[in-house]
Structure 1
Amino acid sequence: MSISAFNRLSRTRLAAVGSAVAAGAVALTCAVGTGTAEAATPTPTTYTVKAGDTLASIARHEHIPGGWKTLAGANHIASPYLIKPGEVLKLSASAKTTAAKSGAINATTVADTTSTVSYPNNLDGWIRNALAIMQQNGIPGSYDGIYRNVMRESSGNPNAVNNWDSNAAAGTPSEGLLQVIQPTFNAYHVPGTSWNLTDPVANITAACNYAYHVYGSIDNVNGPY
C-alpha cells in the first residue's frame, strides 16, 4: 500500500526589593541586603506527560540542558522515543536551570543549529538539514531510512506528483520527495519549516513526523506506506 493510502488517515511571582506587602493592618517590608540568601523555589524533579507533549517540547519548556536526548537518557527511553499522557518523567536535579536576578527570571536561549550550518541544495543537503530539524523536535529517523524511502517514493525528485491514484482523484495528490498529501502535510508540519508542500526539507520532516506517529520512525518503513 502506498503512502498516499495511509495519508488519508488523516509561576512564580517575585516581590520587588523594598516593596511593601499589606496583610490586614500589618505591612511587611521585603528587603534583601547584600549577601543575604533568597528563598529558592523548589525545582520540580518530575514531569507528568500531557496530550500533545513530545520529549523536545518538554525539554524546551523545562529548560533541560542537552534537550530531548537528556530526557530520553534519564528515563531510559529508546527509539522511537514514544511517551504517553500520564507518564511521569524524571527530571534530574541539574536538569532544570532557572535564575532570578533583580526580581526577573532570565530567559534561556536555545541555539538553532540550522541557522549556523549551510546545507547544499541537493538531496544530501535536504536530508541532512531535515535530520537537524528533526533532532531539535524529537522526531526519530536516520539518513539511510529517509534516503531509502525517498528513492522509492519519488526517485529524489522534489516536484514529483502522483496524478493517478484515489487521492489524486479526490483532489489531494501525493507530492514531493516522500509523496505526502496536503491534509497530512498540514497535520504533521514541523514548526520552523516551509508551509510549501513540495519544499524538500518541509516535505521530509512532515513525512518523518507522520511516520513517527504511525510507525514509530521512518526507519521502520521498508516498503510502500
Structure 2
Amino acid sequence: MRSTITGTARLTTVHKLSAAGLTAAAGAAALAFAVTPGQAAETPSIAVKPVAWTTTDLAAHDHITQQATTTAADAAEAKKKADAAAKAKADKARADQQAASRSQARTPAKPAAPAKPAAPAAPVKKAYADNLDGWIKESLDILKSKNIPATYDGIKRNVMRESTGNPRAINDWDVNAANGVPSKGLLQIIDPTFKAYHVEGTSWDPYDPVANITASCNYAADKYGSMDNVNSAY
C-alpha cells in the first residue's frame, strides 16, 4: 500500500529494510573492486581470499605423496631384481654352453660302428610244372643234392612202363598185393621199401609224385647202381 503526499513517496517498513540491504550490498561490491592507478577504470581486479588448509587435508596430502613415492620405489626395486635375475640366468646359460663345448673338445669322438653285413638273400625257390616233366626234373634236383645217380630218360622210361604216368596207380593183383602191400604210384613202390628209402625233404606220402620217384631211384641206385639200369620189374 502507498500513501500519496504531494511531491513525496512514503516507504513502508519493508521497503526501508529492502533499501537498506541494497545499500549494504552496493557498498560491499564497491569494496570488492579497486582501480589500480595507471590502469583503465574498466579493468577491475578481484581480491581472492586464500583458503586455509586444515590438519586433516595436510595429512591426506602427505599420505598420498608418500604412497606414490613408495609405489614408484617398489616398482623400481622389482625391475632391478628382475633385470638381475635375467642377467644371472643368461650368464649361467652361457657358462654351461662354454663348459659343454670344452668337455666335447676333450672327449674323443667314438669310432663309427662297422656296418653290418647284408643278410644273404633268400634263395629263390625253383618253380616246376605240375606234370610228369616237372616231377622228374624236381626229383632229379633232389637226387643230385644227395649224390644219388639217375637220368631224366631212365626215370621216364621206367615210369611209363610201371604206371603210364599215373601218380595214383596201384597194383592190386600181384604177389605184393596178395601179401597186403600193393605197389603204388609212378614207379610202383611198396610201402616198406618207400619208408626204407625215403629221401629227406620229400613227402611221406607214397602217392606224392616227387617223393615216389626219389625214393624209387634211391632204392634202384642201392640195388642196381641206378634207375637207368632197370628195364623190368624191380
TM-score between the two structures when normalised by the length of structure 1:
0.49
Pick 1 or 2: higher relative contact order, CA cutoff 8 A, min separation 6.
1
More helix as a share of residues: 2
More strand as a share of residues: 1
TM-score between the two structures when normalised by the length of structure 2:
0.47
